[in-house]
Structure 1
Amino acid sequence: MDRKLGVSIFPHQSTYEKDINYLKRAHDYGFGRVFTCLLSVHGDKEAIIKELKDTILFAKGIGMEVIADISPRIFDELNISYKDLSFFKEIGADGIRLDLGYTGSEEAMMTFNKEDLSIEINMSNSTHYIDNIMDYRPRASKLMGCHNFYPHRYSGLAYDHFIACSERFKQYGLKTAAFVSSQAASFGPWPVTEGLPTLEEHRELPIAVQAKHLWATGLIDDVIIGNAYASDDELEQLSQLNREKFSFSAKLVDRLTELERKIVLEEPHFYRGDVSDYLIRSTQSRVKYRGHHFEPLNTRDINRGDILIENHLYGQYAGELQIALKPMKNSGKTNVVGQIAEDEVFLLDYLKPWDKFELTRTGG
């Protein structure tokens, strides 16, 4: 299932010109989704159409998918029935996200709407809600899940709860999404502005690390920036991520040979299947460069997250790349050639035997 990047816009908190500029920049960086919120709007139907339609149609015009967040209360305020979703088609939306739902039967019926809109369900409550919907035989191709975001510090989802909720949706093969938080953004749909992540543990992390973590779980497809507006640097960081393969940022030591640098950054890597408690082993480089004389370099003792290449003193292991999972003594036969970025070391726990991965250079 394709993985998309998304941004959020809140027209009632900003201006048309600022939103359009943000959408242009996000599109240029390869973002394909837009989240917008109708939960905090007030006023008559015509005013809402006028305020939202131009922005949404602009996003649609540049090829971005737009999902509008609503609830049964908004249906009532706008005098809309779940049986007739033409209002959302009229404002240009590709789908609606139900922040609060119905009984399951209504949601299933909504997936057959004549406007062909996607119906996105709130994923953040670990109940049998999605099971109830599936019992009513929805059109699964038009049913998706998306977690909440949390503007109040310490109110974001606990990790174990997040996993349990996400697994409920993924067991049905549904497309899923969750939010990351920009450290540069200043607003969201509500007055509180303490970030807008799904997971509380993400609130202070760099945005790229948040996205890597969501994808590393294997349970989230689309990653959406919850708050606005993310910086160009953050948009670029996300745009450069490998969405399909584990990617770790690496700081390399000085004085590496050109071949060692190539092994780290250019050779394909996979986690060898006969696992060790101490090492992630990527062994193809030792096969490819058999016979090369790898001189000892930086043979200090080893810490978790260190990137290693065995030198010629290790005989047939020379040229093998490894990532340390635990501290180890160094016999002098192992070159410490770099370190996984400190913020990303925890992601090593998600790498499984036979997973493919890459190392990208950062700093130093």
Structure 2
Amino acid sequence: MTKRTLGISLYPDHSDVNEDKKYLKMASEYGFTKIFMSMLEVSEGKERVADKFSDLIQYAKRYGFSTTLDIAPNIFDQLGVSYDDLSFFHDLGADTIRLDQGFDGQKEALISFNPQEINIELNMSNDVEYLNNILSYEANKPFIQGCHNFYPQRRTGLPLDFFIKSSKRFKDLGIDTAAFITSQSGRIGPWDINDGLPTLEMHRDLPIDVQAKHLFATGLIDCVIVGNAYASETELSQLGMVNRYQLAFDIDLVDDINELEEEILFDNQHVRRGDITDLVIRSTQVRKRYKDYDNPVSINTHDFKPGDVVIGNNSFGKYKNELQIVLKAHTDIRKNKVAEITQKELFLLNYIGPWDKFKFGR
């Protein structure tokens, strides 16, 4: 299984190359390793195009990036390039080309055996048998990848249920997957309409790190790419700190949290108990570790709402110092409220299943 990665997008026909290079360098410092580079709007001659893209791709390689070129069929005609010979893109330094247009399945399978060993990226945003058809022609599977579309127009992004279904088609067959999130500061995209560039419509106005947490939490996406340029340094930093393999919730602490409760909260690997309940998410191992530690009843409220994080106090018997995340409102004097999950991350509680691991971000 591929390790999870972060990516950025570049639009060389709408941006300044020096700004692109600054952005690349900065993104590399925060752990980004993938570039989605648009070649949909090329209007210059083949030689100028080659110089511009080659310069940028080779610069990116110095910082450890791999590059996917998004290429429309008309670009092949403009550049005099054939799907049967990808040497032009290999010479530019591209690692992957995205097939913006689908063929009959047999054609894609043949392209996947290109001698340059360029990866072929397929569009994931269709819930059809496209991938199965290609693989049925004995495609070169290690060189097949999937990536969702992004949607510049507000209210045209994918709904979550459709996204899940179409993503499963790729993930269930062991294909590497990618999807887009949107920067709230980026203004550059491929077209003149840019209401953000997410894959999922529900992400369009969310903080960028919450979008990434969600995509990784689905277990269906290997690479999360910022669709628009340029994300701010703050956003890149936030994404660089996202735990790619388990949810780490953003929380607000209560005023009267004690040192023991902070240690339980932040210094432990939490695991949801396998025999789940719909009242709370239970992290039970911590109560064994801290069974002999004193934890008085707090003066804070003991009326709990969904998203509250609570820890059993001295009056909770053998359950003292067990950590729970509230799923249904209830009242219990035997538990101290220590924090609450931020409003924008409450929906992520849906992704903590039996035995799932989770943490809390400081």
Partner residue, 2:158:
157
Partner residue, 2:223:
222
Tell me by how many angstroms 1:176 deviates: 0.1
Tell me by how many angstroms 1:62 deviates: 1.4
Tell me by how many angstroms 1:44 deviates: 2.1
Moved more, 101-110 or 188-197: 101-110
Residue 9 of structure 2 aligns to which amino acid in structure 1? S
Partner residue, 1:237:
238
Give runs of aligned pairs for residues 187-336 of structure 1, distance below 5 A: 187-297=188-298, 298-330=300-332, 332-336=333-337
Residue 93 of structure 1 aligns to which amino acid in structure 2? A
Residue 273 of structure 2 aligns to which amino acid in structure 1? R
SS of aligned partner of 1:13: coil
Give runs of aligned pairs for residues 93-108 of structure 1, distance below 5 A: 93-108=94-109
How many angstroms apart in 2 are the aligned matches of 1:276 and 1:232?
41
TM-score by length of 1: 0.97
How many angstroms apart in 1 are the aligned matches of 2:64 and 2:290?
45
Partner residue, 2:72:
71
Residue 88 of structure 2 aligns to which amino acid in structure 1? F
How many angstroms apart in 2 are the aligned matches of 1:141 and 1:295?
57
Specify every segment of 5 or more residues in structure 2 that has no aligned partner in the other structure, as ranges.
Answer: none
Tell me by how many angstroms 1:291 deviates: 2.2
The reply to whether residue 126 of structure 1 matches residue 127 of structure 2 is: yes
The reply to whether residue 181 of structure 1 matches residue 182 of structure 2 is: yes
Tell me by how many angstroms 1:106 deviates: 1.4
> Would you say the 8 A contact 1:72–1:101 is kept in 2?
no
Segments ≥4 residues shifted beyond 4 Å: none
Tell me by how many angstroms 1:76 deviates: 2.2
Partner residue, 1:117:
118
Tell me by how many angstroms 1:118 deviates: 0.7
How many angstroms apart in 1 are the aligned matches of 2:105 and 2:326?
48
Partner residue, 1:41:
42
Tell me by how many angstroms 1:138 deviates: 1.1
Tell me by how many angstroms 1:80 deviates: 1.3
How many angstroms apart in 1 are the aligned matches of 2:132 and 2:74?
23
SS of aligned partner of 2:354: coil
Tell me by how many angstroms 1:171 deviates: 1.5
Tell me by how many angstroms 1:354 deviates: 0.4
Specify every segment of 5 or more residues in structure 1 that has no aligned partner in the other structure, as ranges.
Answer: none
Moved more, 175-184 or 53-62: 53-62
Deviations 1:82-103 (A, max 9, x none): 1100010111111101122211
How many angstroms apart in 2 are the aligned matches of 1:299 and 1:193?
45
Tell me by how many angstroms 1:48 deviates: 1.0
Tell me by how many angstroms 1:359 deviates: 0.7
How many angstroms apart in 1 are the aligned matches of 2:91 and 2:24?
20
- Equivalent pairs counted in the alignment come to 360
> Would you say the 8 A contact 2:260–2:295 is kept in 1?
no
Tell me by how many angstroms 1:274 deviates: 1.0
RMSD: 1.0
> Would you say the 8 A contact 1:195–1:203 is kept in 2?
yes
How many angstroms apart in 1 are the aligned matches of 2:210 and 2:278?
24
How many angstroms apart in 2 are the aligned matches of 1:52 and 1:81?
18
Moved more, 69-78 or 202-211: 69-78
Aligned sequence identity (%): 48
TM-score by length of 2: 0.98
SS of aligned partner of 1:8: strand
How many angstroms apart in 2 are the aligned matches of 1:206 and 1:296?
35
Tell me by how many angstroms 1:218 deviates: 0.8
Residue 328 of structure 1 aligns to which amino acid in structure 2? H
